[in-house]
Chains A and B, each alone.
Chain A
Amino acid sequence: MKRRMIWFLSALLALLLLGGTALAAGSGRKIDLVTDAAGLLTDSQRAFLESRAEKLSEQYECDVAIVTVDSLDGYAAADYNEAVYRQYGLGWGAEKSGVCLLLGMENRDYDLMAQGSAAFTDYGKRVLSGKCREYFQDDDWYGGFLCYIDTCGEFLQYAADGKPVDKGSDPYNKFTFLDAVITLSVCFLPGLVTVLIMKRRMKTAVPQTEANAYVAKDGVLITETSDLFLNTTQNRVRRARESSGGASADSSGSSHESGKF
């Protein structure tokens, strides 16, 4: 009951924030696929993204949505996104297939929610959000959303081909020549250290540098102890923005990848 109340309140809040809604054809959704309540995009940018998202959604029968808001009003990004998704009827068919990217600008939160489509595995969502975050961290909102929509299209095509992006079948993580060079270089070190340790064990005739074994009983007498404060220095470094995310799934059949950008 409490959870439903939260959803209701958050959905109402979202409604107020989003302003006018549009009834769209196909999926039965009541809002545009690209809903920029935070005002990150120009009209032409939003229109362009909307058309691309629309095209993808119809082609794969899976809504590819973007929602931006100024504040999540204290709600978790995943809960907020879930509420928007349900309240505004996003998703195709009985399974309500779709994927929705929510940005909360106040605390730079994001949530990527997927439902009813095999195209967006937990691993896939991490890859997708990782690609987009690189743009968002530079405040390149249009670039990030374009990347999101295009990558969603690729994900949906891979899934249609029977090879959804997942651990073990990740077309974005090709093993490059540079990877091979780095791997071989890094793996050389443990071998080198091991052999050096083995070699050191072959040399046991080493001179003594101390005489700790010959200190007389009660032979240590410390008569002078001084700890003199000299100065204090302070160094301030601006913290890099958190970019990590985490995956979660709930009982409604949707799954989320949340974090900060």
Chain B
Amino acid sequence: MATQVTNYQCPSCTGPLHFSAETGKLKCEYCGSSFDPAEIERLYQEKTQAAAEADRQEDEKPAGAASGARAGSEWDEAEAASLRVYNCPSCGAEILCDGTTAATRCVYCGNPSVVPGRLSGNLKPDYIIPFQLDRQAAVDALKKHCRGKPLLPRAFRSQNRIEQLQGVYVPFWLYDCETSGRVEYSANTVRTWAEGDWDVTERTNYLVTRGGTVRFEQIPVDGSTKMPDDHMDAIEPFDYAGLVPFSLAYLPGYLADKYDVDQQASAERARKRAEQSASELFLASVSGYDSVTEKDRALDFAQKDVKYALLPVWLLNTKWNGKDYLFAMNGQTGKLIGDLPVSRGLACAWLFGIWAVLSALAILIQVL
């Protein structure tokens, strides 16, 4: 069953509109007009409602009304539950995507489209940080990322091709929370002095306790199983001054997903980070000792408020030697991360090169 999707068309020429990270406006590639997202949002509110109504009516049709003899095998239940079919409003082609896709691009005509219902109602994000860096910035950042890496295979640098480059609005939960409790530390001071022929070491041991509360604001945790957690963590931080109330008008031109890990499930990651930080902050208040070791920790995590936000991420996929490499760039700050391949040959060359030079110098010094 196909569902109607919305794409933002230019009010002047009906060409598709894309959100421009550079200007922060929706731009028509055909007539060059630019529009404020809020203005376009108003114009298309009615259209979105109409699409939702059409979707509802389609769903009410008797089962099998639209079905007929089909080639190919049947989707199994799990696959069918996760797949959605939409009609591209530009060329009419059917777009197949999973149940979490909120914004996509038609594979036939390239028209950017927003899937209705994915980011509305209870699923509507509170905030969004619009993309501020374009795809060229992502390409440049990857090149820069590869510089100054002596163990990077030369062939990766020269033959590496970006297979896929996508701007994605990733769903994040932003937790306002509080961690309170107490942490116990074993601490000691060490004093040494000489007494005749004896060296005396005196160690004084203390039990140090610090307790209190640490408040956190908007700890981000990505709510998408599609996104590797380590990649999403590593591109932090986002500048929250760039948060604006959510509007669908920011989505055209980019992919967007709705969350598939809810706020309760994601809260565990926020809790662990908050507790670790609280422990470190308490530890920072312990001074005057020669060594301090954490002994016991009793901390409570209290979730105060949660916001749902879409944050901009450029994802770059490359393939080298049959292996996929994923890089992620913060679409707001430009911070790019991703693991690079290591050349065993270069690693050995460096290891044995340094060894040979140092050994030669050391032997020369000893012999002379």
CB-contacts of B347-368 with A (<8 A): 347, 350-355, 358-359, 362-363, 366-368
Q: Is the CB of B277 within 8 A of A211?
A: yes
Q: Does A203 contact B (CB under 8 A)?
A: yes
Q: Is the CB of A192 within 8 A of B337?
A: no
Interface 0/1 of A217-250, CB less than 8 Å to B? 0011111111111111111111100000000000
Q: Which residues of A have CB within 8 Å of B219?
A: 211, 214
Q: Is the CB of A202 within 8 A of B214?
A: no
Give the docked Cα–Cα distance between A135 and B338 (Å): 62
> In the complex, which of the residues B206, B209, B341 contacts A230, with contact meaning CB atoms closer than 8 Å?
B206
- Of all chain B residues, which has the CB nearest A217? B217
Q: Is the CB of B206 within 8 A of A227?
A: yes
Report the minimal beta-carbon distance from A168 to chain B, rounded to whole angstroms. Answer: 5
Q: Is the CB of B206 within 8 A of A202?
A: no
Contact A219 to B205, CB < 8 A, known contacts A184-B359, A191-B354: no
Q: Does A1 contact B (CB under 8 A)?
A: no
> In the complex, which of the residues A202, A205, A210, A236 contacts B152, with contact meaning CB atoms closer than 8 Å?
A202
Q: Does B291 contact A (CB under 8 A)?
A: no
Q: Is the CB of A188 within 8 A of B355?
A: yes
Q: Which residues of B have CB within 8 Å of A251?
A: none
Q: Does A180 contact B (CB under 8 A)?
A: yes
Q: Which residues of B have CB within 8 Å of A239?
A: 194, 197-199
Q: Is the CB of B203 within 8 A of A210?
A: no
Give the docked Cα–Cα distance between A234 and B42 (Å): 79
Q: Does B260 contact A (CB under 8 A)?
A: no
Give the docked Cα–Cα distance between A227 and B197 (Å): 34
> In the complex, which of the residues B194, B216, B236, B338 contacts A219, with contact meaning CB atoms closer than 8 Å?
B216
Q: Which residues of B have CB within 8 Å of A216?
A: 215-217
- Of all chain A residues, which has the CB nearest B368? A168
Q: Is the CB of A191 within 8 A of B236?
A: no
Interface 0/1 of B228-265, CB less than 8 Å to A? 11110110110000000000000000000000000000
Q: Does A201 contact B (CB under 8 A)?
A: yes
Q: Is the CB of B200 within 8 A of A235?
A: yes
* Segment among B12-20, B157-165, B278-286 that sits at the interface with chain A: B278-286
Contact A224 to B210, CB < 8 A, known contacts A198-B151, A211-B270, A212-B280: yes
Chief secondary structure at chain A's binding surface: mixed
- Residues of B within 8 A of A (CB-CB), count: 73
Q: Is the CB of B202 within 8 A of A233?
A: yes
Report the minimal beta-carbon distance from A143 to chain B, rounded to whole angstroms. Answer: 24
Chief secondary structure at chain B's binding surface: mixed
Q: Is the CB of B273 within 8 A of A210?
A: yes
Q: Does A172 contact B (CB under 8 A)?
A: no
Q: Is the CB of A237 within 8 A of B199?
A: yes
Report the minimal beta-carbon distance from A139 to chain B, rounded to whole angstroms. Answer: 15
Q: Which residues of A have CB within 8 Å of B337?
A: 204-205
Q: Does A160 contact B (CB under 8 A)?
A: no
Q: Does B213 contact A (CB under 8 A)?
A: yes
- Of all chain A residues, which has the CB nearest B338? A205
Q: Which residues of A have CB within 8 Å of B145?
A: 204
Q: Does B339 contact A (CB under 8 A)?
A: yes
Give the docked Cα–Cα distance between A135 and B139 (Å): 72
- Of all chain B residues, which has the CB nearest A228? B207
> In the complex, which of the residues B202, B208, B355 contacts A191, with contact meaning CB atoms closer than 8 Å?
B355
Interface 0/1 of A180-206, CB less than 8 Å to B? 100110111011101100110111111
Q: Does B201 contact A (CB under 8 A)?
A: yes
Q: Is the CB of B198 within 8 A of A225?
A: no
Q: Is the CB of B339 within 8 A of A203?
A: yes
Give the docked Cα–Cα distance between A229 and B204 (Å): 8
Q: Is the CB of A192 within 8 A of B366?
A: no
Q: Is the CB of B211 within 8 A of A219?
A: no
Q: Does B212 contact A (CB under 8 A)?
A: yes
Which residue among A203, A205, A238 has the maximum number of chain B CB atoms within 10 Å of its CB?
A: A205
Q: Is the CB of B236 within 8 A of A213?
A: yes
Give the docked Cα–Cα distance between A238 and B194 (Å): 10
Which residue among B149, B194, B214, B280 has the maximum number of chain A CB atoms within 10 Å of its CB?
A: B214
> In the complex, which of the residues A180, A188, A207 contacts B234, with contact meaning CB atoms closer than 8 Å?
A207
Q: Does A209 contact B (CB under 8 A)?
A: yes
Give the docked Cα–Cα distance between A155 and B273 (Å): 69
Q: Which residues of B have CB within 8 Å of A188?
A: 355
Contact A227 to B208, CB < 8 A, known contacts A183-B363, A202-B339, A234-B202: yes
Q: Does B342 contact A (CB under 8 A)?
A: yes
Which residue among A198, A211, A221 has the maximum number of chain B CB atoms within 10 Å of its CB?
A: A211
> In the complex, which of the residues B233, B351, B352 contacts A208, with contact meaning CB atoms closer than 8 Å?
B233
18 CB contacts below 8 A, A to B, read A191-B353, A195-B347, A195-B354, A204-B339, A205-B228, A206-B230, A208-B233, A210-B273, A210-B276, A220-B281, A221-B212, A222-B211, A226-B209, A228-B206, A233-B205, A236-B195, A236-B201, A239-B194
